Amino acid sequence: MNKTVMHELLEINRIESTFPLCSSENLADDHEQSVKVVGILGCGAIANIITNFAAEGKLGVDVNFFYDKDIERAENLASQVDGTVLLSIEDMLDKVDLVIEAASPQAVREVVPTIIGAGVDMIVMSVGALLDNELRERLDKLAKENNAKIYAPSGAIVGIDGIKAASIGKIQSASLVTRKPPRSLGISTDEEKILYEGKAGDAVLKFPMNINVAATLSLACGMEVDVKIIADPAVDRNMHEVHVIGEFGEFKTITENMPCATNPKTSTLAAYAAIRLLKSLNENLKIGT
């Protein structure tokens, strides 16, 4: 099915969810394009876990194309799945259904517009970059014009499904306390140290590689969450406490994440979230908001 037809079906589906009696169930059933071939932008810790799953045949899609500004990293991952290393992201665009960005906020600014502009879907891991309103609106516009999708997985945090549902009503407050071993925050200290207290937008500017969860929460609920970042030598996991109060009631979540072996700043759950999202793109029964 071509993308224009799919876009029209999506529109029909959207309109009919407002007027549910006139159902286009059969048409809407296959409105989502299946994802078969995936490329990777950024071949570090997250990409490594995703590629391992692919190598074991557990991903359900082929991860065949790899790009990293450090070519050795791309070669290393490509060798695990007999994949191909590309020297530029442009070379990937006519070969893949979707690109997973697992690189950096800078890559989201510099490279993602090219990918979306070519009508290729994306999973973006460096979600912090999307708190930049100008960039997010530009990417959203490009995605609409080129019928591409941008997916931001729940990543290293739990509660994104709940906060999305909660945001249908009024949210009074949403806060995040992130507690990490000092080495995960790139510092050394023998005692607990509050490194940041304030709104998510500023936290993302000060800790761009560490605070994607604050960005994901903020984007999910449509308001900047209150963030506290603590370096704590007493913990050996990356911990996130979320507290949301709204019209729906109240919820609290605690996530204790195992750091990735190859990058302690990154949590294994973040890679698992991308893998799960990838799988869900080809599923007919989707669970969760």
Coil, strand, or helix at residue 264?
coil
How many CB atoms neighbour CB 123 within 10 A?
Answer: 25
Query: Are 281 and 32 contacting, i.e. CB atoms less than 8 angstroms apart?
Result: yes
User: From residue 17, how far is each of 28, 135, 169 by CA, in Å?
Assistant: 11, 29, 18
In the shown chain, the binding pattern of residues 119 to 158 toward ligand NAD, with x for contact by CB under 6 A and - for none, equals: ------xxx---------------------------xx--
How many CB atoms neighbour CB 149 within 10 A?
Answer: 16
User: In the set 63, 77, 103, 171, which binds ligand NAD (CB under 6 A)?
Assistant: 103
Alpha-helical runs (H) found in 131-236 = 133-145, 160-166, 200-206, 212-221
Q: Does 43 bind ligand NAD (CB under 6 A)?
A: yes
Q: Is 156 annotated as a binding residue?
A: yes
Q: Does 86 bind ligand NAD (CB under 6 A)?
A: no
**Contacts with ligand NAD in 165-194 (CB under 6 A)?**
none
Q: Which helix (H) or strand (E) covers residue 268, if one does?
A: helix 268-280
Coil, strand, or helix at residue 63?
strand
Q: Does 55 bind ligand NAD (CB under 6 A)?
A: no
Q: Does 88 bind ligand NAD (CB under 6 A)?
A: no
Task: Out of 7, 31, 240, 243, pick the active-site residue.
Answer: 240
**Contacts with ligand NAD in 189-248 (CB under 6 A)?**
209, 212-213, 216
- The binding site consists of 156, 212
Provide the binding-site residues for ligand NAD, judged by CB under 6 A: 41-47, 68-70, 73, 102-107, 110-111, 125-127, 155-156, 209, 212-213, 216, 263, 266-267, 270
